Each structure stands twice: as C-alpha cells, then as structure tokens.
C-alpha cells in the first residue's frame, strides 16, 4: 500500500495555513494556531486517531475575530484527509465512537461518502458558557468546514452537556478522532476496491 500522506498550503486574503498529515501515524502532532483551545483539541483528535498531524497558521486576521481562522483550519484539515485518502480504496468508510468525560458523553458517527454534511445536536437546554474565545457555534462551524473539506457526513451528539465548554468539546474531538480512525482503516476484504455500490466516492 502506498503511504497515505498529504500536505497542503492554503493562502487566502484572510489566512495562510500549512499542514501535513500521515493517516497511518502514531498520533504525533505539531499544531500552532492562534486559537489555543483548538490546538489542544486537534492534539487530542490526532492522538486518539493515530494521525500524525503538523499544522501551522502562518497568518490570520484574528484582529477581526477567530471566525476565518477557525473555518479555514477546518477546511484545510478536511482537504488533507481527502487528499491522503485519494480514491478511498479499501477503506471501511464508516466509523462511530463515544467518548465520556465526567457525566458528558460525546458521540460521533462518520461516513466518508463524498457528501459533506454535518449535524451537531446538543441534548437538553443547558447554557454552555463561551470560553477561551470559543463557543459551541464555533465548534459547529469548524466541524461543518471539516465535513465539507473531507466530503463526509458527520453526525455528532452531546449527551448530558456540561456548562463547561471545554468538557463538551473534548468529548467531541476525542470521539471524532476515534471514529475517523475506524472509517479510514483498511478492510482487507475490500482490498483495492472502493467501498461504494457506485464504484466511486468523489
Ligand atoms: Mn482538556
């Protein structure tokens, strides 16, 4: 099997990002964005997914706010996976995982279907405080950008959400890493073929 690696450089008027990924890695990371909580979450995600990920935001218009940076990191990460998976031969395609933290439970279901779609559902009506400049709506936008960049349907659910944003988000990024690790694994029964009745995933 050829190495499932990719690198990307994305420059826009708003941000400049360089990144490289090895899907079959050891979970080693070097992440540098201006959003501290996102660095922490991307480290957890890659560690639990056994992805080697280097990502650096070289330029960002954070003097406005973190909106563009948060979105563009999501896009780049999604595109990196898409590029490294190439024609997606032999992959399991589906993955799902749960991650508990105290009483909160994050669940992520992934289908690398070619269609970018995100659903994020937070159970109940707990008021989750914004923290470290981040919020649930930034999380949602990040995941949406990632789903579109990758071409995956991603369904995320947070049960018994905490008032603490960090806890909620951490269960999401850990379960996303675990689910994506499963979905990107090679199933020897599919060897050399694309896991779709259509014959392609584009
Ligand atoms: Mn943490």
Cα 170 to averaged position of ligand 1 atoms, centre (Å)? 6
Q: Which residues surround ligand 1, an ion (CB under 5 A)?
A: 170
Fold of 5-190: Ribosomal Protein S5; domain 2 (3.30.230)
Residue ranges in 14-164 assigned as alpha helix (H): 36-49, 67-85, 136-150
Query: Are 3 and 28 within 8 A, CB to CB?
Result: no
Confirm if 55 and 158 have CB atoms less than 8 A apart.
no
- Cα 44 to ligand 1 centre (Å): 8
Structure tokens at 200: 């392609």
| Interatomic CA distance for residues 25 and 113, integer angstroms | 23
Q: How many residues does the chain have?
A: 202
The structural domains of the chain, with segments of one domain joined by +, span: 5-190
Tell me how far the alpha carbon of residue 10 lies from the centroid of ligand 1, in angstroms. Answer: 28
Structure-block tokens of residue 132: 């470290």
Helices (H), 55-164: 67-85, 136-150
The Å distance, Cα 166 to ligand 1 centre, comes to 6
| 82: Cα separation from own chain's centroid | 12
* Separation of CA 76 and ligand 1 centre (Å): 23
Its sign, for the CA torsion 40, 42, 45, 48, is: negative
What separation in Å is there between the alpha carbon of 198 and the centre of ligand 1?
A: 41
Ligand 1: distance of its center to the CA of 193 in Å? Answer: 39
The proportion of the chain whose per-residue pLDDT surpasses 70, expressed as a percent, equals: 100
Residue where the block lists tokens 């994305």: 10
What local confidence, expressed as pLDDT, does residue 98 receive?
Answer: 98
pLDDT tens by residue, the chain, 202 residues: 789 999 999 999 999 999 999 999 999 999 999 999 999 999 999 999 999 999 999 999 999 999 999 999 999 999 999 999 999 999 999 999 999 999 999 999 999 999 999 999 999 999 999 998 999 999 999 999 999 999 999 999 999 999 999 999 999 999 999 999 999 999 999 888 888 988 898 8
């Amino acid at each position: 099997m050829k190495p499932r690696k990719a690198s990307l450089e994305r420059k826009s008027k708003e941000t400049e990002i360089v990144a490289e990924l090895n899907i079959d890695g050891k979970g080693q990371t070097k992440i540098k964005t201006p959003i501290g909580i996102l660095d922490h979450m991307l480290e957890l995600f890659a560690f639990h997914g056994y992805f080697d990920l280097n990502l650096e935001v070289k330029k960002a218009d954070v003097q406005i706010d973190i909106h563009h940076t948060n979105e563009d990191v999501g896009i780049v990460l999604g595109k990196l996976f898409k590029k490294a998976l190439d024609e997606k031969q032999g992959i399991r395609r589906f993955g799902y995982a749960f991650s508990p933290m105290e009483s909160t439970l994050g669940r992520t279901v992934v289908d690398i279907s070619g269609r970018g779609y995100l659903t994020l559902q937070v159970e109940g009506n707990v008021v989750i405080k914004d923290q470290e400049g981040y919020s649930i709506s930034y999380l949602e936008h990040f995941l949406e950008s990632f789903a579109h960049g990758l071409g995956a349907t991603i369904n995320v659910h947070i049960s018994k959400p905490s008032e603490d944003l960090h806890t909620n988000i951490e269960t999401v990024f850990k379960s996303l890493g675990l689910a994506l690790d499963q979905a990107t694994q090679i199933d020897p029964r599919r060897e050399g073929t694309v896991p779709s009745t259509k014959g392609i995933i584009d």
